[in-house]
Amino acid sequence: MTRTCRMSFELLATDGKARRGRLTFPRGVVETPAFMPVGTYGTVKGMLPRDIEAIGAQIILGNTFHLWLRPGTEVIKRHGDLHDFMQWQGPILTDSGGFQVFSLGAMRKIKEEGVTFASPVDGSKVFMGPEESMQVQRDLGSDIVMIFDECTPYPAEFDVAKTSMELSLRWANRSKIAHGDSSAALFGIVQGGMHEALRMRSLEGLSELEFDGLAIGGLSVGEPKEEMIKVLDYLPGQMPSDKPRYLMGVGKPEDLVEGVRRGVDMFDCVMPTRNARNGHLFVDTGVLKIRNAFHRHDDSPLDPTCDCYTCKHFSRAYLHHLDKCGEMLGSMLNTIHNLRHYQRLMAGLREAIQQGTLAAFVDAFYARRGLPTPPLD
């Protein structure tokens, strides 16, 4: 079967392990390293599509599991696809639903065929396997499709992680077959818990299947940061250099910097949007908690270095007032700022890699936070 992928990846520059690249789709270009805002239910919470574009995002993430359960693909297909339904015409990556099923805990039963679980929407019995996940993502019109996998829990002993990883490899093969001749990019997901031998076996098996890109899954699931860094110290550099590398669900600014230093190209996380709704705002010096009483009389912007709509128009005192009153505009303005902060960080990283000045950029990033630069293995 002949298949043409509508995504291309070009590596433009390197600085140490860090990579500056470009993903090209019919729907647009994505400069990497890139951060993808999360649009779980077909919306990035608190953001209009024009706002997402204005903060500099070039690609967003949609959630296969939740969109499949509600509103369902038949509703979405009547509009065309997910791009038309939510009025975002840039590229969309959809996760496979594997992590959401994993998050259901005791509500789900995992077998070779797939996973049976009680719908969190109405309690009905639902089944999802690799074939179902691929069909849903095809119906959504995804530009990047993720394979269906089992997210290995933390902590997991070697034998438990091995069984889970091997199941994910078999599901990866079924996902590849079910994806068929679709021109959407298909990414494999490396699993194996915190065990290097299992991670490398997973990578080997996925490489044999020749996916269009590879992701690192099973991190940011409760493990200490030191454990995550251990995996990132050896894994990205073993991945094919001609394909994009995606670190799933990892997202403090410091984590993005450390991932980029180790060769990761793509990131997503709900942290900037979720934290915005809770009044935790990312600024150049760290995190600002807008609910603190001393912001009540502060007429300065959130971050004088930021060019977002919020920072150009509103004071900390106003944002503090909105938060205290529970006004939805507060969450919206906070979200605009946090997502723009992330996009500015990624743009700075891209420029530093291009210029060969990443080490100086990273040193300055940590110095503004009053922190030492972590060592790089």
Question: Which are the catalytic amino acids?
Answer: 95, 268
Q: Which residue is listed with tokens 């049976």?
A: 116
d(CA 257, CA 300): 27
Q: Are 151 and 95 in contact (CB under 8 A)?
A: no
d(CA 267, CA 215): 10
As given in the structure block, the two tokens for residue 72 are: 């369902």
Q: In sequence order, what are the residues at sequence separation of 6 or more whose Cβ sits closer than 8 angstroms to the Cβ of residue 232?
A: 216, 247, 258, 259, 262, 264
As given in the structure block, the two tokens for residue 194 are: 């915190």
Report long-range pairs for 344-348 (Cβ below 8 Å, ≥24 apart). 344/56, 344/306, 344/307, 345/35, 345/253, 345/256, 345/257, 346/33, 346/34, 346/35, 346/256, 347/56
Q: Are 60 and 38 in contact (CB under 8 A)?
A: yes
Q: How far is CA 25 from CA 6, 30, 83, 109, in A?
A: 6, 8, 14, 37
d(CA 115, CA 96): 12
Considering only CA atoms, which of 162, 123, 167 is closest in space to residue 147? 167
Considering only CA atoms, which of 240, 252, 184, 178 is closest in space to residue 215? 240
Q: Are 221 and 192 in contact (CB under 8 A)?
A: no
